[in-house]
Structure 1
């Protein structure tokens, strides 16, 4: 009796699952006018960009071979050399091998990862082999960083999350440093732009130029901007009989050393 109930339940569940699978998905909503305009704009921008060179792979793992996407093998080879900024076939082939190793996930060796790496390198548009090596490193570093973040997200243990997350942070910092190195290489070295602000308040005087301190005093001097005319005595004269106040009238105007008192 128990078996009959069990069989009956399984049949009902199977029938219910088959019924659910047979129900067609509801049709998707039609694109709005704005969607249509933005789609046309996106297509136009894609057509204005350079098409990235791609490879076709046959076989898997160590038996995988790369081939051209079309019948013009010579033109395809020229596209690959241009993507790596070189005229050397050996440099291009070596860079492709390194890129393929770095972009493989789980050792599958599919062309998808290689083509993704090629898109990164071609997007950098290296002008020479040095820039191409940096581009390959950037693609490999980004791939490794994303792998570490994936491991940290999928692992429930705190030590594993800390280890993978910490390595991901280091890789992402390395990626930023690689971008800065490429930018510095292209602009031909380090450039420093210094901006100085001079504030002049009412009643004050501004000195523009190199100000130097010649020692012996606490002030600064600058040649070319010093007033050479004598000071008018009237500007500092006092009327006869006018007292000159000090903070402490009980003291001498000028301190006298103890042995001279």
Structure 2
């Protein structure tokens, strides 16, 4: 990665949650490519790698190069767009290479979805409207699936289940507020006789991979 000293454009804003004394690296562009601009080159690479959640400069430069290419709008680099993408990487805070790749994909899908929305808004014929609408629909459906994939990876593959609005019979114990556990959590099935009162519970079948909200029904008087 090389860059000219007399022609450069900076992109990427200061990392959130970092001390004021820690200067977050910026991206410097030239006709020959881009490089990390920091008073201490090694420290700059380290800071960028930490923000991306990867262990070495090879992985960091690989993801950064992909983000640079994805930031291109038309045939030109969109420096503000790249700054946004790097900032979102910092906000997601990947913790390893898998999370870094998922985060980069999520950001690119979001950026592309917004471009599709812009194309849809400016479409002047039915064919362009249909094409932009189809692309936008696929992208906005992909984005929450990526969020779920990242959450499941961080939760070691177990979808979260939220239990709320429990009704308790005489002699039972109530939990006030929402309780979120992983899929191995045991809850009572609706219709099980006095399940909460006598603590006879059966595993709830997992219907899907999305977060589920389970509510028990009041037992008949």
TM-score by length of 1: 0.54
* Count of residues in Structure 1 that have an aligned counterpart in Structure 2: 159
Residue 36 of structure 2 corresponds to: 67
Distance in 1, matches of 2:63 and 2:48, equals 10
Is the aligned partner of 1:169 residue 2:137?
A: yes
2:94–2:100 Cα contact (<8 Å) kept: yes
In the superposition, relative to structure 1, how do residues 155 and 198 fare at CA in structure 2: closer, same or farther (>3 Å)? closer
Residue 124 of structure 2 corresponds to: 156
Point out the structure with the larger helix share: 1
In the superposition, relative to structure 1, how do residues 208 and 87 fare at CA in structure 2: closer, same or farther (>3 Å)? closer
1:56–1:111 Cα contact (<8 Å) kept: no
In the superposition, relative to structure 1, how do residues 210 and 159 fare at CA in structure 2: closer, same or farther (>3 Å)? same
Gaps of 5+ in 1: 1-45, 212-261
Q: Which has the larger radius of gyration?
A: 1
Residue 229 of structure 1 corresponds to: none
Equivalences for residues 1-261 of structure 1 within 5 A: 49-50=17-18, 53-60=24-31, 63-68=32-37, 70-190=38-158, 191-192=182-183, 193=185, 194-197=187-190, 209=200
Task: Give the CA deviation at 1:160.
Answer: 1.0
TM-score by length of 2: 0.63
Query: Residue by residue, what CA displacement relative to the aligned partner does 1:170-222 show, whole Å, maximum 9, x if unpaired?
Result: 11111110001000111112233544345879xxxx986479xxxxxxxxxxx
Point out the structure with the larger strand share: 2
1:149–1:164 Cα contact (<8 Å) kept: yes
Gaps of 5+ in 2: 1-13, 159-181, 203-221
In the superposition, relative to structure 1, how do residues 200 and 93 fare at CA in structure 2: closer, same or farther (>3 Å)? closer
- Across the aligned residues of Structure 1 and Structure 2, the Cα RMSD in angstroms comes to 2.9
Partner SS state of residue 134, structure 1: helix
Higher relative contact order (CA 8 A, sep 6+): 2
